[in-house]
Amino acid sequence: MTFQELIQQGIPSVLPQAKPYETNINHAPKRKEILSEEEKKLALKNALRYFDARHHAELIPEFKEELNTFGRIYMYRFRPDYEMKARAISDYPGKSEQAKAIMLMIQNNLDYAVAQHPHELITYGGNGGVFSNWAQYLLTMKYLAEMTNEQTLVMYSGHPMGLFPSHKDAPRVVVTNGMMIPNYSKPDDWEKFNALGVTQYGQMTAGSYMYIGPQGIVHGTTITVLNGFRKIKKSPTGGLFVTSGLGGMSGAQPKAGNIAGCVTVCAEVNPKITKIRHEQGWINEIVTDITLLVARVRKALDNKEVVSIAYLGNVVDVWERFDQENLHIDLGSDQTSLHNPWAGGYYPTGFSFEEANDMMASNPEQFKSEVQKTLRRHAAAINKHTAKGTYFFDYGNAFLLEASRAGADVMAENQTLGREFKYPSYVQDIMGPMCFDYGFGPFRWVCTSGKPEDLAKTDAIACQVLEEMMRNSPSEIQQQMQDNITWIKGAQENKLVVGSQARILYADAEGRMKIAAAFNKAIANNEIGPVVLGRDHHDVSGTDSPYRETSNIYDGSRFTADMAIHNVIGDSFRGATWVSIHNGGGVGWGEVINGGFGMLLDGSEDADRRLKSMLFWDVNNGISRRSWARNEGAIFAIKRAMEVEPLLQVTLPNLVDENLL
């Protein structure tokens, strides 16, 4: 069968041969035993409902073995034999170009070069799933191949509920992930219902089909590192940045350090992913001996090298040894997946990678105890460095939150609402006041032709738009504009593409609309093929997350989730091609609500109308909320937006004299 025929087939009527477990692939760790015997039967019944009853006798023992061995039913047998990658949009079968674009983005999320655990359908973060099992993938792709622009596919936490009648301006796909009733939203609840196959953790852009490989986080990390050095009034040249994690998201850190121009040390315990990041060029060197690491870093600093070094080992050892050696760290952070601390997101020191994985599955209580012990040591070592002048920031991965729950010394002496911890979230000090409040956030696009030359043309178009805008921009946003012009000019030489021909830059509403309109015009003129627009949920408006995206909101509303819900509803009726809303993201299930979108530009007048309506709302929704929280930059930005658009009328805050209070 051809690729198109296999997509249209969906779940095959004749069972494919069982597939061997491939040991050379980076697999998800075994999940802990969470289901009772009766619940295991229910998990099997839930999995078997995808298949004709005549296959059940053959599949039951196989699915039971998967559940007992891995803690989940992935249905490995049904993994497609074709190469998993984003193809040109013209290669996909279907009646709707919008649906074809979504198929392209789904396959990109599962590309072996992109996905962290591709056989378990996990894109990044240890548990950020596109689907829970391969039957869901097959059925979803079949529905997308069949749908018209008068239908909408409803996705229920990885499960394709079905095609429903709608209209051409409705989203083609509506996605929800992990939306739990609050009283049933504890860690063991998520584990249980995920194991039962009725919900999944979609992360941010994994379960919403908008991940573009590490490039997305490379850009955000580059901006963060540059501004981190600006905060300490030091050039990145000859500076040292220490962090940890080389997974799907965190693997971007060393590349960002190189672009910023400093020495980066990034610790990672997983040898497979370390090797992959080295082969992909995201890190320059791997060091396995802590003594050799100290010598190598000293040499790099003395020579003012721009180099990224992966230390294959635990980051706690790095912090402690660098303290003993009095090796000064300028910037410090951590980007291990601490939203997922008990299932492979963070590893305890004193154990090999294999020993820790065994303990995680066979003795989860001991594993939790060892992780918390390590977090206390980790924080203690960081405190010694910050006492010597290191600037440490939480990278929104729940490091400080989980460290505090472990009893680590991370709480502020004089706690206030919004400043509970000793160290700021990077959003509090950097991204929030410098970018999000002014409407600047991660605008991204994918060239659906798959042609590098199309991406080069879009880079040139975006750069031209930004340079023209910068000439007339107010002084308040000149730095943001210049950082992104510099970024886009260096994008080609930095070889940021992994998977699809994609790009990201930070732009405000005006920039996003003007760049998108220029793309749409180029498509209409047959200069480039269709383009998918999107963004990370980590943005101005898409996410309510009290310790990350909304951590620089101090009126108490950072613990509410109205903005993300408003965002996805507003995007839905303003022309998004697909929309998503998730419980959980980079800081963990139960800690955050995320809203996202995707939009296909096809050169039509309809696309031009939709992009202007939706992108304006998608950004200014968040700016208005931030301005109501009395954020100075957001008040400036929303007033400017109202001057441009007379139909926009936003309630502005009246400021209180502190002396009166």
Tokens 């008068």 -> residue: 150
Instruction: Say if residue 595 carries a ligand binding annotation.
Output: no
The identity of residue 124, as a single letter, is Y
Q: How many helices (H) and strands (E) does the chain have?
A: 22, 19
For the chain, how long is the longest CA-to-CA vector?
77
Instruction: Say if residue 125 carries a ligand binding annotation.
Output: yes
Instruction: Say if residue 268 carries a ligand binding annotation.
Output: yes
Task: Give the CB-side neighbour count of residue 265, counting CA atoms within 13 A.
Answer: 32
Buried b (16+ CB within 10 A) or exposed e, 183-192: eebeeebbbb
384 contacts 327 by C-beta, under 8 angstroms = no
Rounded to whole angstroms, the Cα distance separating 349 from 373 reads 9
Classify residue 243 by burial, with Cβ atoms within 10 Å: 0-12, 13-18, 19+: buried
Residue 58: how many CB atoms within 10 A of its CB?
Answer: 13
DSSP 214: B
Rounded to whole angstroms, the Cα distance separating 277 from 126 reads 16
CA–CA distance from 264 to each of 62, 220, 260, 308, 394 (Å)?
Answer: 45, 16, 10, 5, 17
Helix, strand, coil tally for the chain in percent (to 5): 45, 15, 40
Four-residue CA torsion sign, 242, 237, 392, 278: negative
Instruction: Say if residue 645 carries a ligand binding annotation.
Output: no
CA–CA distance from 54 to each of 9, 49, 570 (Å)?
Answer: 18, 12, 45
Q: Tell me which residue of 204, 276, 227, 224 sits closest to 247, measured CA to CA.
A: 276
Query: Three-state DSSP class for 420?
Result: strand
H or E element in which residue 600 lies: strand 593-601
Instruction: Say if residue 395 carries a ligand binding annotation.
Output: yes
The identity of residue 354, as a single letter, is E
Instruction: Say if residue 366 carries a ligand binding annotation.
Output: no
Strand 441-447 relative to strand 502-507, pairing: antiparallel
Q: Which two tokens stand for residue 148?
A: 């018209």
Rounded to whole angstroms, the Cα distance separating 220 from 253 reads 10
CA–CA distance from 477 to each of 435, 509, 540, 562 (Å)?
Answer: 9, 13, 15, 27
236 contacts 222 by C-beta, under 8 angstroms = no
CA–CA distance from 81 to each of 16, 59, 117, 328, 582 (Å)?
Answer: 10, 19, 17, 51, 30
Tokens 């994690």 -> residue: 245
Binding residues: 125-126, 203, 268, 395, 586
Binding residues for NAD(+): 125-126, 203, 268, 395, 586
